[in-house]
Structures are given as C-alpha cells and as structure tokens.
Amino acid sequence: MYYELYLDVLFLENLLADYLLLSLLRKVLKCPAGRLKRLLGAALGSAGICGLYLFSIERTFAGQLLIYVVFSTVMVKTGLGIRDFRTLGKAIVLLYISSFLLGGIYQWVQSRVRLPLYPFAGFTLISYWILSLFMGWLLGFRERIRDVFEGEIEYHGKTVHVKGLLDTGNHLKDPVFGKPVSILTECKKQELCSGEEPLYQMIPFHSLGEPNGILPAFFADFIRIRKKDGSEKQIERPLIGVTKEPLSSQKDYDMIAHPDLLD
C-alpha cells in the first residue's frame, strides 16, 4: 500500500493551520505581530514540513527534531516577532498545547459535521473558532477574578471615568526618580485630553515580544481609586503611560494601575 502525496496541498494545509495557531498565540501573548508577519512565519513552518516529506525524512529522529525544535522556533520567532528567549520558550510550549487542542477539536468536528467542499479548510476553521472562543473565555475569566476597580482620572480640569486593574505584576517606574507608572489606553487618553497632546516623557520598558520598548507617559492631575471595600484613595500627579494596544482581551478595563499607588 502506498499513498500519493501532493506537496502543494500539504503546503497549503499546513500554512492554514500554522497561521491560525500563530493567531491564537498572538491573542494569548498579546504580541503586536501583524497578518503579514504571521503569514511569513506560517509559510516558513509549512515549507520546512514539505521539505522533510520531499526527502522522506519526516519520521526519522532528525526529522522529528527539526519539526519540534527548529521549525517551531523559526515559525514562532518570525510570525510573532519575539526576541527574548524566555518569551520564545513560553510561546513554543503554548504552540504545542494549542496544536494538540486544535487537533483534538478537529477530530471531534470531523466526526459530527459533513462538509461537501474543501473539508480540511472547513474543519480547521471551525476548530479554530471553537478553540478561539474557549481561549477568549479563559482569558476573560482570568482577568475578571483579578483586582479590578473603578475610579476617575483628571487632566487639566477634564475628568473621565476609568475601569482599571490593580496589577501586582506591573513594576514599571520612571528610571530617573523612581515614580510608579500606570498605563492607560490611547482611546481613553484621547477622551481625557480632548485632542490636546500632553507633554510626554519616555519610559523604557520590557514586555512580551518587546524587550526594549519605549512608552510615552505624562503627568495627570490626579487619579481617584475606589476600592472594593468602599474606601477611596486619591493620588496627586500620577505618571500615566499610554499604549495603543488593548489592555484586556475582553475590554474589561482601560487602565492598569501600579500597585504602589495604594501603598
């Protein structure tokens, strides 16, 4: 018995699956990688697999090493733009887990759904949609049980309501004076400043996929935080960093407050 393998079909099938997996990882890790970068990473991973099949070494030890170490690393590093090794290792582990879950969901969908045209693409997209919903729910649940608060922030006499997260993992500070930096979304900053651009100072930071980033920050008039026990605290002249990236996958909050603000 032998099987006839079409490399062009194999390439396209792996390209689709790898692109969807990279899209899931982007959502989980909140990487800024765009579609073209993810497509390039998926294409490199798919091309590597096709090369192994072309030379019939996909089942050898060397072939397995290339698949699970080299190709996955190149695909994640290229597709998500990750530079630091710690985040890269985390992304590769998440790639294995997501691939396993996607494959399991694919088998379940295949046993229950009948598609007349392009069954692989259809089953893969349905499986991705189910896994994406589950991952979104899981991330949202994780964020909802964290310390979310409500309050106000004022700048030049204009006050806006904010829903924030008190994040003990936020250690961002002004490197000169050591002042804690909270983070606000660009959308909420525009609402607060009413089109006026504040005087920024640049704060260096490290994050997933961005080991040497620069965050623009400005001084607001105050932040008023209402705690869960009903008490309030007002912080004068807080330093606020501004990001264009969403802070919450479910948009549960638009600000991340530095934990030192409540000390």
- What tens digit of pLDDT does each residue of 130-142 get? 888 887 776 666 6
Q: What are 200-230's pLDDT values in tens digits? A: 989 887 765 566 788 899 999 999 988 766 7
Helices within the chain (DSSP H only): 7-29, 35-54, 61-65, 72-80, 85-112, 119-144, 186-193
CB 161 within 8 A of CB 150: yes
Length in residues, the chain: 263
Rounded to the nearest 10 degrees, the angle between the axes of helix 72-80 and helix 35-54 is: 160
% of the chain residues with pLDDT over 70: 88
Given a cut of 60, is residue 3 above it in pLDDT? no
Residues whose CB falls within 8 Å of the CB of residue 160, separated by 6 or more in sequence, listed in order? 152, 153, 188, 191, 192
The two tokens of residue 241 are 């960093």
Identity of the amino acid at 177:
F
CB 185 within 8 A of CB 172: no
CB 172 within 8 A of CB 247: no
DSSP state of 173: B
Q: What are 93-120's pLDDT values in tens digits? A: 888 888 888 888 888 888 877 776 667 8
Identify any residues that bridge with 151 across adjacent strands, giving them in sequence order. 162, 225
Given a cut of 70, is residue 240 above it in pLDDT? yes
